[in-house]
Amino acid sequence: MKLGYDIGFLEVIVGPMFAGKTTELIRRIERERYAKRKVGIFKPSLDVRYSVSSVATHNGLTYPAYVVSANDEGVRKIYEIAKKEKLEVVGIDEGHFFPLSLVEVCEKLANEGVRVIVAGLNLDFRGEPFETMKELMVRADDVTYLTAVCSVCGAPATRSQRLIDGKPAPYNSPRIVVGGKELYEARCRKHHIVPR
């Protein structure tokens, strides 16, 4: 008896920092595991904020993960492990850290009957799209957009504000800086500031 789906499906969960993307990814993976489907979550090796070997939420929820490099080789490993382990559901956390080759692998897995769920930031700290997430969103069968709460006014937050010494990071700061509450805040459009 086949426990998987007859067709694959590509889902994307996006939003700013502190919106609950990883929590939602874990919830969906746990639901599939409960349904007796073979599941696995992948995470980039550069994300060591809360755990080296698990995906982890800002509030302490963890789930064991396959850890791969955030490069083309790591993306190939996602596909190889998914096939070798006969995964029916593949979760990928922090999708924005991976190169565009992730899009092709996600599509390939979905076309082969795998349910693929990718969580990540849609916008960088400047408010500009992460290319990999943008491409995944337009190819996805379903997109869930989560918001956080603005740390300034309490409105729905759609942006991630990077801070340096408590002040907004300038535009020319490095695009990728891994961090949590010590470096980032969720902000609404009005209170998101990027000095040029």
Residue among 11, 32, 88, 94 flagged as catalytic: 94
How far is 90 from 58, CA to CA, in rounded Å? 22
The answer to whether the beta carbons of residues 162 and 169 sit under 8 Å apart is yes
What's the token pair of residue 53? 């070997």
Q: Is 94 a catalytic residue?
A: yes
CA 160 to chain CA centroid, nearest Å:
14
8 A C-beta contact, residue 119 and residue 22? yes
**E strand or H helix at 28, and its extent?**
helix 21-34
In angstroms and rounded to an integer, the radius of gyration of the C-alpha atoms of the chain is 17
b/e per residue 134-143 (b: at least 16 CB within 10 A): bbbbeebeeb
Please identify every residue annotated as catalytic.
94
